[in-house]
Structure 1
Amino acid sequence: MRVAAFDCGTNSLRLLIADVDEQGRMTELRRETRIVRLGQGVDATGEFAPEALERTFAVAREFAEVAAEFSPEKLRFIATSASRDVKNRDEFFAGIFNILGVVPDVITGDEEAHLSFLGATAGHGLDSGPFIVMDLGGGSTELVLGTRDVTSAVSMDIGSVRLTERHMSADVPDQGQIQAAIADIDGHLDKAAEAVDLAAPRTMIGVAGTVTTLTAGILDLASYQRDRIHGTHLRVEDIDGQADKLLSMTRDARAALPYMHPGRVDVIAAGGLLFARIAARMDAAVKAAGAELDIMVSETDILDGTALDLARRQS
């Protein structure tokens, strides 16, 4: 079955067109990502900015033309954190419907967890569970625990865009801004630990653009290379070092990194700090339980999970 999956988050709009066979094996035909920053200012204003909507609609029109070339049998457009929080989301719904002929599904935290887990664990042949999938987005970050299926999950109202807008307005954040962001992150992690056992997993799978971009930096890639990044295993100290490096760089220096997407330049430092704090907290919890945590990076995520789930649906 041929499917088209669209994932609209706080920072990016993505498209995956794939064929999925009866055994659930997926063959990717086209994958596209554009940074639209739909969640621009949402944390402060509670609504989508007109320019953010127009950026998103422009990319949706581009993606509609791409999808039409492949004639998918099914299409689904999911929307996550930013779209849950706004007062004017009907304007967003109407715009997407006019372009694609489908109403966006603003998925619940539980469904986001299920789709992220499905996509992140698909095709890896993992056998060292339990796993925890960390889906680090622009507006929210999910921690999803499970082995074959999800056993528990939590969605934290922090991400690269929200943390940047709340705490890191300066080109190079000072220690006061960094400490404020750390306090925000750690407070959310304290609450998350009440819902998900952070000592339970043996493998942590990090997904989404912040994680993969930091990995490109750790690998010192000359360009963004998806195949090199996918399946990489990371050490906590390398994540922490890369996060510190990004926090100390100017915007121009971050923009000059050969693997950096222009749309991530403004928010990658806050996102890197969030990744580092989560990795360190998880690693400490697992070590305290007498085990070791393997940190792995996946280029498959909620978008892939959406495509696989869509192919399985009966109608």
Structure 2
Amino acid sequence: MMAKIGCIDIGTNSVRILGLEINDKGDINQILRDMRIIRLGAGMGLKGKIATYSMDLLIDTLNYFQEIGGRHGIKRYYAVCTSAVRSAKNKEEFINYISKATKIPLKVLSGEEEGNLAFMGATEKEPSNKKICVIDIGGGSTEIILGKGKVILDSKSVDIGAVWMTEKFLSSDPISSKEYKIMLDNVKKSFSESLLQIKEKSVNIDSAIGIGGTITTLASILLKMEIYNPEKICGFSFDLNQLKAIINKLLRKDLNDRKNIPGLQPGRVDIIPAGAGILYILMKELGLCSIKVKDTDLLMGMAIKIFQNELF
């Protein structure tokens, strides 16, 4: 008998659903995926609270997800909240407000839990004897996870993300080189302690995997993708020189011109320079020449744990 669930990731910038079914043999198949960019964490870097307007947008999105999920026979939904909710001063108000309106079970993940689920999803089909570094850049935080097989060797979560770095540092349009350098210096400083600890265990990394909206968007830009195609994204690799070329291209354009870049989603036009800068610093500091992009991430890790009755 097939069991069907809808896994929802409530992030700082986007809200995503992954609908999955599992058969008696334990095989997991995707039956639905969708995303809406609602910028839940807008203004939080300055105010520390999630706005009621943003909560209402989230409720509309969750109701929509339940509607389309119902067409696929999904009756059970689970949602996890990451950086924005984790750090919100009105976290309890948010949970009560959303839970009452949608009846969907919510779990606020710690940074470590978020990283662990991301690693599980990203490495699900990777060889078990390989040492892998997974980088997940979100809107409000970034996770760096080092592991081998199913064993996590180290996991770091830092409250540096594409949305909050944009709000805090990048106000000019086009972005000035001075502003961008200040942001990069701040990113490097914020990650210094975590990177030092990761570096001690990252000798002989077999591969680096990048997940999350920033990295899949960068891949989409390189592939000049008019319509997002996860099958083409998954397994695509790019190097540090290609990343630098994208950053230079982004910095030469103002906000309106960036909207015309093939592969760049409208909801990420303003924050992609910051996200790309975060990845640049991490790759450079960790000595990563290239990174492989995966479209399986926290949501797949979440599903695996739910099917194992270990998360909710």
Percent identity among equivalent residues?
Answer: 28
> Structure 2: which amino acid aligns with 1:139?
G
Unaligned runs of 5+ in 1: 285-292
Q: 1:213 and 2:217 equivalent?
A: yes
Question: What per-residue deviation string (whole Å, max 9, x for no partner) do you get for residues 10-46 of structure 1?
Answer: 0010101101245553210000110010000111101
Question: What per-residue deviation string (whole Å, max 9, x for no partner) do you get for residues 105-160 of structure 1?
Answer: 1111121111000111123x436621011010000000000011211100011010
Q: 1:244 and 2:240 equivalent?
A: no
Pair 1:313–1:74, CA change in 2 (3 A): farther
Unaligned runs of 5+ in 2: none
Pair 1:78–1:130, CA change in 2 (3 A): same
TM-score (norm 2): 0.92
Q: Within 2, Cα distance between the matches of 1:206 and 1:94?
A: 33
Q: Within 2, Cα distance between the matches of 1:24 and 1:158?
A: 37
Q: Within 2, Cα distance between the matches of 1:254 and 1:34?
A: 20
Q: What is the aligned partner in structure 2 of residue 299 from structure 1?
A: 295
- The structure showing larger relative contact order (alpha-carbon pairs under 8 Å, at least 6 residues apart) is 1
Q: Within 2, Cα distance between the matches of 1:73 and 1:62?
A: 14
225-234 vs 99-108, which moves further: 99-108
Matched residue SS, 1:313: coil
What is the aligned residue count?
306
Question: What per-residue deviation string (whole Å, max 9, x for no partner) do you get for residues 153-196 of structure 1?
Answer: 00011010011011001221112211111111111221112332
Q: Within 2, Cα distance between the matches of 1:240 and 1:186?
A: 16
Matched residue SS, 1:47: coil
Matched residue SS, 2:287: helix
Q: Within 2, Cα distance between the matches of 1:246 and 1:128?
A: 38
**Contact persistence 2:139–2:163 (CA under 8 A):** yes
Question: What per-residue deviation string (whole Å, max 9, x for no partner) do you get for residues 77-98 of structure 1?
Answer: 1000010111222332123213
Q: Within 2, Cα distance between the matches of 1:24 and 1:166?
A: 45
161-170 vs 81-90, which moves further: 81-90
* Deviation for aligned residue 1:99: 3.6
TM-score (norm 1): 0.91
Instruction: Calculate the aligned-residue CA RMSD, in Å.
Output: 1.9
Q: 1:171 and 2:167 equivalent?
A: no
Q: What is the aligned partner in structure 2 of residue 145 from structure 1?
A: 146
Q: 1:311 and 2:307 equivalent?
A: yes
- Provide runs of 4+ in structure 1 moved above 4 Å: none
> Structure 1: which amino acid aligns with 2:301?
G
After superposition, where does 1:1-315 map in structure 2 within 5 Å? 1-21=3-23, 24-72=26-74, 74-123=76-125, 125-126=126-127, 129-148=130-149, 149-197=151-199, 198-283=202-287, 294-313=290-309
> Structure 2: which amino acid aligns with 1:30?
L
